[in-house]
Every structure is written in C-alpha cells, then in structure tokens.
Amino acid sequence: MARTRKSLFADGDFAGRVAFITGAASGIGNGLARVLAGRGARLAIADVREDAIEYAAHELRQTGAEVEPFVVDVADRSAMTACAASVAERFGAVHLVINNAGIAQVGTPMDQIDEQTYRWMFDVNVHGVTNGMTAFAPLLRSNGAGGGHIVNVSSIAGLFLVPQWHIGLYSATKMAVIPLSLGMRLALSPSNIGVSVVCPGRIWSELRNNSAALSPGGGALVSNLPDDIDENVMTAAHAAEIILHGVVNDRAFILTHPEHAKDVADYHKLVTDEFEYWTSALSDIPEEAEGAQS
C-alpha cells in the first residue's frame, strides 16, 4: 500500500531548520530570507552579486539570524554542486531549497532578440532551477525519512502568455519550470521530499534593474510595459508568507494572485478551440491523396 507522505514542514516549524535560497540578495528571495530568519531558520543565502549577498547577510545577522552568504551563478552546474557541498559542510544538513534566482526579458519582439539573450534566459531561469534541484536533492535525501522540501520560482507568466506583450521568451522559460517541478515532485516523493512551484503575479523587486545589470549584452531588458504595471503590487514579505504557507501545506502549486485564474482559462481556451477546429477539419482531409503511391 502506498505510504502517505508526512511533509517535514507539516508542523509549520522552521526553527533550527536549514534553508538554502538562491537570488536572496534582493526581491522575493530576500523577502523569504527575512521571513525565515524571523521564524528561526538557519540560512544559506546565495546570489551571483557578491557585494549584494554579503550585505544581505550582514543585515540578516543584525536580526540575530544565523546566516552564511554564498556567491554562485545558478546557471553553472559544477559551481552549484560545489556550493551544495559547502552548504553541507557549513550547516551539516539542508531541509528547504528555494530555487528563486531569475532574470526577465520583456518588450522586445522575439525576432529581434539576440542569440546570447535566448541562451542566457534559459541558462539562468531553466537550467538554474534544474541545477539547484539536482545539486541539492542528494542532501535532502540524506535526511533519511525526514526528507525536506524544494521550492522553484516560476511566474504567472508560466501559466499563460500575456496577450499583446512581447513576453514569449520569459514565458517559455517560466513554463518550463512547471513540468520540471511536477516531474521532480513525482521522482522525490518516495524520499519524502516535496516540490512546489510558485507562480507569482507582480511582486515588488529589483528584477528590471538587476536583469539589465546582469545581462551579457548590457542594457535594459524590460521595456514597453503597460502604464499600470506598478499598481497593486504585492510586497516581497507578503509573497514570502504565501510561499511558506504553500511549503507547510505541501502544495504542488503556490499561487499568489488568484485573480489571474480567468487569464489562464482564456489561454487554455486557445488550445481547446483549436482542437474543435481540427476535429472538424480532419474529417475533410483524406488520409491519402487520390492516386498517391503508398
């Protein structure tokens, strides 16, 4: 008989447990670090920006938290493996892994995006997540029956393509994170390791500035957004509370902005409408053209 999984965090207790968070120098990752510090977690915080992650660690230590900063590029598989070894050496165990680091590219028509940007977006937003999962899963497994939890940060843009926005590349990377997360959830469930994928709507962060500063080609990567993009934006602290609720309740999906449910349904209707078209069209298309050689 299948064993019912009891999540390590089902008791809602983060105190003394070790959390590894990527992209923790700013925005959602930093919000998560602050909220987890408030709940007594021990923190391994990582980012590609050395000064920023060291400053974030300094600030968190002021609150009395136990924190260690790690400088790592999530896109670099061997660097992530080495980082996991360093975290294990420093903390002895890891219980919660949050693959949050990401970058955005929005507003440029897709035929004008250069090859370097295409690769970079997939390297960071997709391979960064798989690197985090594969580098840290063995550490979570070594907790034995206790297990642990992985959180991967996708986006609401992973659930639908915003009509009229040039957001196809960003959406593609964030869409990829969803099946990768659900697939890993299935694979790690027997080891009592939960996997959740977060699909946030708009959250206050430095995503536009950081993406521009980090981009290999340099320059702004996010442009042509609607004027109301910065209205009704959720704080990173609020998003962090929602994400931890999702961890405690071992949710496969963590959704911060349920008001987008209709956008997601409309996006899926594009596909179901196409099935209707093709169901009718296929009845008129012969399997073989008359007189064709088989």
Which residues sit at the interface with ligand NAD, rule CB under 6 A?
A: 22-23, 25-29, 47-49, 73-75, 100-104, 124, 128, 153, 155, 200, 202-203, 205-207, 210, 214
Q: Is 170 a catalytic residue?
A: yes
Structure tokens at 93: 């165990």
By beta-carbon proximity to ligand NAD, the closer residue of 73 and 250 is: 73
Segments in 92-214 forming alpha helices (H): 115-122, 128-141, 168-188, 207-214
Query: Please, are residues 196 and 176 in contact by the beta-carbon 8 Å criterion?
Result: no
Of 55, 170, 267, 277, which residue is the catalytic one? 170
Provide the minimum distance between the beta carbon of 146 and ligand NAD in the complex, in angstroms, as a whole number.
Answer: 27
Provide the minimum distance between the beta carbon of 91 and ligand NAD in the complex, in angstroms, as a whole number.
Answer: 19
By beta-carbon proximity to ligand NAD, the closer residue of 173 and 192 is: 173
By beta-carbon proximity to ligand NAD, the closer residue of 23 and 148 is: 23
φ and ψ of 157, to 5 deg = -70, -5
Residues 132, 177: Cα–Cα separation, whole Å = 12
By beta-carbon proximity to ligand NAD, the closer residue of 158 and 194 is: 158
Provide the minimum distance between the beta carbon of 225 and ligand NAD in the complex, in angstroms, as a whole number.
Answer: 11
Give the torsion through C-alpha atoms of 187, 188, 192, 194, to 10 deg: -110
Query: Please, are residues 74 and 131 in contact by the beta-carbon 8 Å criterion?
Result: yes
Q: Which of 76, 65, 62 is nearest to 130 (CA)?
A: 76
Provide the minimum distance between the beta carbon of 278 and ligand NAD in the complex, in angstroms, as a whole number.
Answer: 33
Q: Which residues are catalytic?
A: 170
